[in-house]
Amino acid sequence: MGLRTPFYKLYESRIIRHIDQDRLPVHIGVILDGHRRFAKAEGFDDYRKSYMAGMQKLEELLSWAYQTKIPAVTVWVLSTDNLNRPASELNPYFEVLEEFFSTLPELGRSLDFSLDVTGSMDMLPDGLRASAKTAMAALANVDSAKWHVNIALCYGGRQEILDACKSLVEDLALSGVPAEEISGHIDEESFREHLYSSSLPDLDLVIRTSGEARLSGFLLWQSVYAECVFVDPYWPAFRRVDFLRALRDFAKRERRFGR
């Protein structure tokens, strides 16, 4: 991870000068990938040190987003597929995530953000689920909030779409729409209202660490026109300069939205 050297500080300043502030993304998604490979590369004797470094890095990322005035950030910290990993890998991560959520209200108040936590949290250990819900409740309606953070916890893109479909159909049925007419009431707008974070705009930029060039089901509906930046560092080694370069590259792209 290392400290920011004078060289990097100068380089960061240069990148900032070349970022068109009028073309910054409104909503950024970040896939935190590479904790385990980082642990092996650093020679850690267990994964907990890497997970702790990753959550410290997440705090740094949120401060960078605050400094650059990004209106919304979604970070994917745990997928439903991750639950298939051995308990020796999962349990330390659950513990570190629980500790992270316990400190999040203080960070949210200092950085002026409101918080949402989305995903299949009923699949998580009681302690982690309670810690996430407590943090969300503390930051759900912050009057001073200037931007929004969404944490995708035990999240799966396909599951979100299935849940949205079920919720929409159930609402239509409860409102008295006959079964044979339900399909006529389903459109993009009504479907969007049943997504986990329906109030957030579509993603503009997705950043994934660790050199993997895929979305793995991250916000499938919301990422349809997102620009993607895949960077080599493992998540705990992600640097502010990597974040700024991603913003610079995004600002230079000509977005076509399928046209």
The residues carrying an active-site annotation are: 33, 82
In 3D, which of 58, 49, 50 has the Cα closest to residue 34? 50
Q: Which residues contact 1 (CB under 8 A, 6 or more apart)?
A: 53, 57, 236, 237, 239
Give alpha helix (H) positions in the chain. Answer: 6-17, 35-42, 48-67, 87-111, 126-139, 157-174, 188-192, 240-252
Report d(CA 196, CA 169) in Å as an integer: 15
Token couple for 70: 């990004």
Provide the residue type at 86 as one letter.
Answer: P
Report d(CA 136, CA 28) in Å as an integer: 19
